Amino acid sequence: MDSTLPAVAEELLKEIKKAFQETSRVPDDLLLGLKFIFGPCAVPALDLVDHRSVTRVTSPSGRTAYQVLGSSGKLYTCYSSCHFCTCPAFGFTVLQKSESLLCKHILAVYLSQAMGACQELTVSEEQLTSILLADEEDEG
């Protein structure tokens, strides 16, 4: 996982991936660790994973973004490579107030990667550009 998370968070996600590959479940101790490290966004992120709300969008050139269908029904674009989400909670609690490491959408992306639960969508370069530009238009 190429992210900018603290080492302890990276290690926890690796442990979750390993446990899930071996047993197809996440043990209680790792769930507690998830709640401890990521706080209140852990349970909603797991809910998004359970609902298969994370889609990996890939273009022929290899560019990748993730789209997460939020609990409100709105689609957010997430970039795991630079640890960013287009949702208002990310902008407020992560960037402005520094109260959280990430939002539930980014955590859902990382958990979906670890658990192999991402939907897959291949789009053209033009379609991916449209997805990215649509997010810019929504923001400003």
In tens, the pLDDT along 17-27 reads: 999 999 999 99
- Could you tell me the maximum CA-CA distance found in the chain, to the nearest angstrom? 45
Q: Which residues pair with 57 in a beta bridge?
A: 65, 121
> Computed over its alpha carbons, how large is the radius of gyration of the chain?
15
Per-residue pLDDT at 112: 96
Q: Is the pLDDT of residue 37 over 70?
A: yes
Please provide residue 64's backbone torsions phi and psi, each rounded to the nearest 5 degrees: -135, 140
